[in-house]
């Protein structure tokens, strides 16, 4: 996740202070990824160093306000225009666990796959219940996130099925 670009996107709407940026990020992402306010201020300092934001001094009270610069708008536009590539792919704890179990001796792989399938199905059911209760007019970010989570859970179940099929084929040889 790019906190850097997320803050630029929020600042492109209007100048803000650190705590408001944290709150806007969390609201925009349906509170799925809590953001540490210390990370917000560290990121703002780097963005300012790089000329992508500028501080406007103090507004009402002791808060420093930040605004996006033209260079920041250009970088934000580049970010929006670029696809998200996973090269190399992000570390996947489940894949690592399965691969290491196969490499070790493979005896407990089936149990790992079954336990994961049960957990993923529970997660999928929970996401689906949340989606049914969500208000599309007021909770669009939450619905979009739920769609992504549902599709990822479905893909994980398909991968678990493929793992089982490959392991069965290997065992039959």
For the chain, give every domain's residue range. 3-81, 93-172
% of the chain with per-residue pLDDT over 90: 80
Output the pLDDT for position 80: 95
Residue 90, judged by CB atoms within 10 A of its CB (0-12, 13-18, 19+), counts as: exposed
pLDDT, position 61: 58
Architecture of domain 3-81: Orthogonal Bundle (1.10)
> Is the CB of residue 124 less than 8 Å from the CB of residue 157?
yes
Does pLDDT of 46 surpass 80?
A: yes
Mean pLDDT (the chain) is: 92
* Alpha helix positions (H), 50-139: 70-81, 93-104, 109-133
- pLDDT at 92 (0 to 100): 92
Rounded to two decimals, the pTM is 0.79
Q: Is the pLDDT of residue 173 over 50?
A: no
Res 45 pLDDT > 90: yes
**pLDDT tens per residue across span 70-127:** 999 999 999 999 998 887 888 899 999 999 999 988 778 999 999 999 999 999 999 9
């Amino acid at each position: 996740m790019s906190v850097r670009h997320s803050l630029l996107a929020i600042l492109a709407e209007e100048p803000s202070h650190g705590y408001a940026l944290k709150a806007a990020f969390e609201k925009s992402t349906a509170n799925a990824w809590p953001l540490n306010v210390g990370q917000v201020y560290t990121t703002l300092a780097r963005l300012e160093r790089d000329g992508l934001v500028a501080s406007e001094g103090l507004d009402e009270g002791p808060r420093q306000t930040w605004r996006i610069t033209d260079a920041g708008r250009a970088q934000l536009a580049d970010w929006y225009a670029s696809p998200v590539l996973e090269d190399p792919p992000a570390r996947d704890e489940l894949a690592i666990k399965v691969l290491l179990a196969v490499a070790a001796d493979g005896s407990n792989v089936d149990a790992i796959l079954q336990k994961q399938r049960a957990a993923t199905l529970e997660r999928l059911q929970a996401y689906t219940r949340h989606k049914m209760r969500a208000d599309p007019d007021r909770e669009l970010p939450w619905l979009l996130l739920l769609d992504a989570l549902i599709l990822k859970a479905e893909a994980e179940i398909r991968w678990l099925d493929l793992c089982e099929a490959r392991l069965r084929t290997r065992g039959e040889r």
